[in-house]
Chains A and B, each alone.
Chain A
Amino acid sequence: MNSSIGKAYMSTASSSAGRKAGDAAAAAAAAADQFPAGLRVLVVDDDPTCLMILEKMLRTCLYEVTKCNRAETALSMLRENKNGFDVVISDVHMPDMDGFKLLEHIGLEMDLPVIMMSADDGKHVVMKGVTHGACDYLIKPVRIEALKNIWQHVVRKRKNEWKDFEQSGSVEEGDRQLKQSEDADYSSSANEGNWKSSKRRKDDEDETDERDDTSSLKKPRVVWSVELHQQFVAAVNQLGIDKAVPKKILELMNVPGLTRENVASHLQKYRLYLRRLSGVSQHPGNLNNSFMSPQEATFGPLSSLSGLDLQTLAATGQLPAQSLVTLQSSGLGRPTGKSGIPMPLIDQRNIFSFENPKLRFGEGQQQHVNNNKQMNLLHGIPTTMEPKQLAGLHHGAQSMGNMNMQVASHGSQSSQNNPLLMQMAQPQARGQMLNDSSLGHAPRLLSPMGQPMLSNGIAANVPTRNGIQENIRAPSYNPVPQTSSMLNFPMNHASELPGNSYPLGSTPGISSLTPKVAFREDVNSDIKGSVGFLPSYDIFNDLDHHKPQNWELQNVGMTFDASQHSNSLQGNLNHAQSVLVQQGFSSGQMNGQNRSATVVSKTMFSSGDSTGHVNAQNGNQPLNSLLVDGTVRVKSETPTNLYPDDFGQEDLMSALLKQQDVIAPAEHEFDFDGYSLDNIPV
């Protein structure tokens, strides 16, 4: 492997700036002037001919090139020199490691923009690039013209990060204000336009930015260095992947300044990553082993969710429903894991409407599956979503991922927010497929975390595209194009969601509800300020067949309409922000929903097995009463038919609750294990 570094151009630039004089600042300034010259590119390709050609082309573009013929080497170089590169270009097809794996690693660890290339221009492969977070995909033979503009991905990413950083303020105080401003930022996207504006109207929106690249994390971005990640992995392994709760991980890691939310979001990504691994584990030579260098520590048990990725990806809205279906049928199938990430069957007909703004969803924790599982996905989301609304939701590739549902862990009102929510990077979906550099790296965020598992035929329409924008605060991750809509709902029914733009079919064998959760996009994870959020979840429930669905509302950050409940969850949701992942719904329609009652729920749907259960938090408490406390507990009940239209909050709630009853404890392998929604005090 040749790691030649072309300094020629750079030196020229620098020297002219006075580097000789040792004036680093001047050199830097000069470099900036010369931008994109001097852009530090790492190119990885096992084909020596192509590698040499690319190197030459990149040098001709005045970039500073380092070439590498093995993915593992590239990864170590990146790890050794985290800030040594601006962009990575990698071939898809490499003998020692699948290019997509490398892509994921880079996204997880370094968060650099990655451009994939391949001679293969098949739609499936290109889509894979998108879903794995590549910021671009070049078809070989690559022309120099294609390389001339790669700097845009670097700029875009920086811009997103900057915005992110700007918006992230100190954790608590600034949140509210930040949210407000973030909300304001939001209006850019057409999809969210209506929704956002309505959201903005509500003063207390907690979460914003789903769609935006900038995650609405209020916290400063955390950069997961190799060391930090190793500590993280060590902690996770020590706890056991199933029991690894952000809080405990945080404790074990013992890193000053690191917050539970940071860990939570990282955990989410990590889980996604693991899922992906397990999904590709059959792929020869593909496993992480190859790149799991000693420094990495094992990633832990690989979940066997094969479809998980897909789901997550779909959920992030990156995948068009059809593609998703295609992909699913192409073999992702049902996850084999116990909780199996259900294929993101988004039953279009199932729409969750959350009428109740105050929903507290317990975090889906496996351990507490039975009652604490919060996934009550949609509970509490009172507004009924009309089908057309749903239709509206789905535009824009918003990753639903950010459904933040405040999942209050029942009975364990820990203060933790659903870390997942944090993680949900806002899917960039601005109607884009993951090309956004911001998304690029964190598609995985889609993580099931916080994805509510829809139980029994409750289809949460998670518009993947719509942008469930969660403003996940993924401190270090950019919005993940979570296929939020894809929330893995182990929905049993495949109901058609009218107007759902994600026609995610049910996976064969899984009659799942297509969860259509209309989440308000701007889910402010900060429930504190929660103020009316929105998402109206229409719960469409083909209860007829509903089988227990695994609803896990992982990070349900519901922003409750302040108007409705003055004692909104805010108290509970103090950290909800991070948790709230809002599903970006094209909110126009949402607006119509009861705003007041809408809960911004970012529900993360996690796939559960078909026996999915919604872990209802509490017993069957009528929604109202729950609301009164500001907490909503979803309990599993025998599923009842929920019809999206005209569902009164109470009705919905009870329906939801009822549904949850039947839901068996979800043992989803994903995700939310051990995530407790701290912020929702029980």
Chain B
Amino acid sequence: MDRNRLKHQVASMRSSLFDQGYLDEPFIQLEELQDDDNPNFVQEIVTLFYTDSARLIQNIEHALNSRRIDFDKLDDYMHQFKGSSSSIGAKKVTNECTVFREYCSAENAEGCIRSFQQVKQEYAILRRKLEVYLQMVRQAAVSRTT
């Protein structure tokens, strides 16, 4: 595909990610950190985020499924998850994490379970969108101007 067109699409998608609140300022920082020394920096970070998130999500699931919920531990996991999602600028995900933590501190198991569903959902949506977006970015980078 024409490079310019690709670039245009990339820009457009990027804007909408920000406009719709999926991404936030820290993501821009990531983009700015990308340079010749680390040409795939954003992708690397995002991949790292996926891996780490998968682990945390699993831990949270497990903790929520236990007979006696350990809210401290839950909060701990979610604190970590929130930390990493906020550092990549995953705005919606981070917000859902905040809601979860509120339920957690109130020791509201049901609230935690419900809000965790929201967290997972937002995470899944963001992940899909980012994957599409970054793929487009890669394509634009390697494409030639026709």
Contacts from A to B (Cβ < 8 Å): 8, 46-50, 52-53, 56-57, 59-60, 93, 119-120, 140-144
B41 A48 Cβ-Cβ under 8 A:
no
List 17 A–B pairs whose Cβ atoms lie within 8 Å, in order of A's numbering. A8-B37, A46-B80, A47-B80, A50-B87, A52-B44, A52-B45, A53-B88, A57-B29, A59-B37, A93-B83, A119-B79, A119-B82, A140-B83, A140-B86, A141-B29, A144-B29, A144-B32
Chain B hits for A57, CB < 8 A: 29, 33
Chain A hits for B41, CB < 8 A: 56
Return the CB mask of B13-34 against A: 1 if under 8 Å, else 0: 0000000000000100110110
Chain B hits for A8, CB < 8 A: 37
> Smallest Cβ distance from A543 to chain B, in angstroms?
45
> Smallest Cβ distance from A61 to chain B, in angstroms?
11
Return the CB mask of B76-115 against A: 1 if under 8 Å, else 0: 1001101110111100000000000000000000000000
Known: A53-B30, A57-B33, A93-B80. A119 touches B45 (CB 8 A): no
Cβ-defined partner of A52 (8 Å) among B32, B37, B48, B83: B48
B48 A49 Cβ-Cβ under 8 A:
yes
A48 B48 Cβ-Cβ under 8 A:
yes
Chain B hits for A141, CB < 8 A: 26, 29, 86-87, 89
**B49 contacts the other chain (CB 8 A):** yes
Residue among A8, A49, A60 with max Cβ neighbours from chain B (10 Å)? A49
Chain B hits for A48, CB < 8 A: 48, 51-52, 84
Please, how many angstroms separate the alpha-carbon atoms of A53 and B52 in the complex? 14
Instruction: Tell me the nearest residue of chain A to B72, going by C-beta.
Output: A284
> Smallest Cβ distance from A140 to chain B, in angstroms?
6
Known: A52-B44, A52-B48. A119 touches B29 (CB 8 A): no
> Smallest Cβ distance from B33 to chain A, in angstroms?
5
B83 A119 Cβ-Cβ under 8 A:
yes
Query: A-B contact count, CB below 8 Å?
Result: 61
Chain A hits for B84, CB < 8 A: 47-50
5 new A-B pairs (CB below 8 Å) besides A48-B84, A140-B87? A47-B87, A53-B88, A59-B37, A93-B79, A143-B26
> Smallest Cβ distance from A17 to chain B, in angstroms?
22
Instruction: Tell me the nearest residue of chain B to A94, going by C-beta.
Output: B80
Label chain B's interface by main secondary structure: helix
> Smallest Cβ distance from B72 to chain A, in angstroms?
8
Instruction: Tell me the nearest residue of chain B to A6, going by C-beta.
Output: B37
Chain A hits for B26, CB < 8 A: 141, 143
> Smallest Cβ distance from A92 to chain B, in angstroms?
10
> Smallest Cβ distance from B47 to chain A, in angstroms?
10
Known: A47-B84, A48-B52, A141-B26. A53 touches B33 (CB 8 A): yes
Chain B hits for A60, CB < 8 A: 33, 35
Please, how many angstroms separate the alpha-carbon atoms of A158 and B122 in the complex? 47
**B66 contacts the other chain (CB 8 A):** no
Chain B hits for A53, CB < 8 A: 29-30, 33, 45, 87-88
Known: A52-B44, A53-B33, A53-B87. A47 touches B82 (CB 8 A): no
Instruction: Tell me the nearest residue of chain A to B73, going by C-beta.
Output: A284
**B38 contacts the other chain (CB 8 A):** yes
Residue among B38, B87, B88 with max Cβ neighbours from chain A (10 Å)? B87
Chain B hits for A59, CB < 8 A: 37
Instruction: Tell me the nearest residue of chain A to B27, going by C-beta.
Output: A141
Please, how many angstroms separate the alpha-carbon atoms of A52 and B43 in the complex? 12
Please, how many angstroms separate the alpha-carbon atoms of A8 and B36 in the complex? 13
A49 B79 Cβ-Cβ under 8 A:
no
Chain A hits for B32, CB < 8 A: 144
Please, how many angstroms separate the alpha-carbon atoms of A57 and B30 in the complex? 9
B29 A47 Cβ-Cβ under 8 A:
no
Cβ-defined partner of A49 (8 Å) among B29, B38, B45: B45
Chain B hits for A142, CB < 8 A: 87
A56 B87 Cβ-Cβ under 8 A:
no
A144 B33 Cβ-Cβ under 8 A:
yes
> Smallest Cβ distance from A549 to chain B, in angstroms?
38
Please, how many angstroms separate the alpha-carbon atoms of A248 and B48 in the complex? 53
Instruction: Tell me the nearest residue of chain B to A284, going by C-beta.
Output: B72
Please, how many angstroms separate the alpha-carbon atoms of A120 and B84 in the complex? 12
A56 B38 Cβ-Cβ under 8 A:
yes
Instruction: Tell me the nearest residue of chain A to B38, going by C-beta.
Output: A56
Chain A hits for B51, CB < 8 A: 48
B33 A56 Cβ-Cβ under 8 A:
yes
> Smallest Cβ distance from B122 to chain A, in angstroms?
17
Please, how many angstroms separate the alpha-carbon atoms of A591 and B145 in the complex? 80
Please, how many angstroms separate the alpha-carbon atoms of A141 and B41 in the complex? 17
Please, how many angstroms separate the alpha-carbon atoms of A461 and B37 in the complex? 58
Residue among B29, B52, B79, B88 with max Cβ neighbours from chain A (10 Å)? B29
Return the CB mask of B32-75 against A: 1 if under 8 Å, else 0: 11010110010011001101100000000000000000000000
> Smallest Cβ distance from A588 to chain B, in angstroms?
45
Instruction: Tell me the nearest residue of chain B to A93, going by C-beta.
Output: B79
A143 B29 Cβ-Cβ under 8 A:
yes
Please, how many angstroms separate the alpha-carbon atoms of A519 and B48 in the complex? 55
> Smallest Cβ distance from A68 to chain B, in angstroms?
16
Chain A hits for B79, CB < 8 A: 93, 119-120
Instruction: Tell me the nearest residue of chain A to B30, going by C-beta.
Output: A53
Please, how many angstroms separate the alpha-carbon atoms of A196 and B33 in the complex? 49
Cβ-closest 4 pairs across A and B: A49-B84, A119-B83, A141-B87, A141-B26
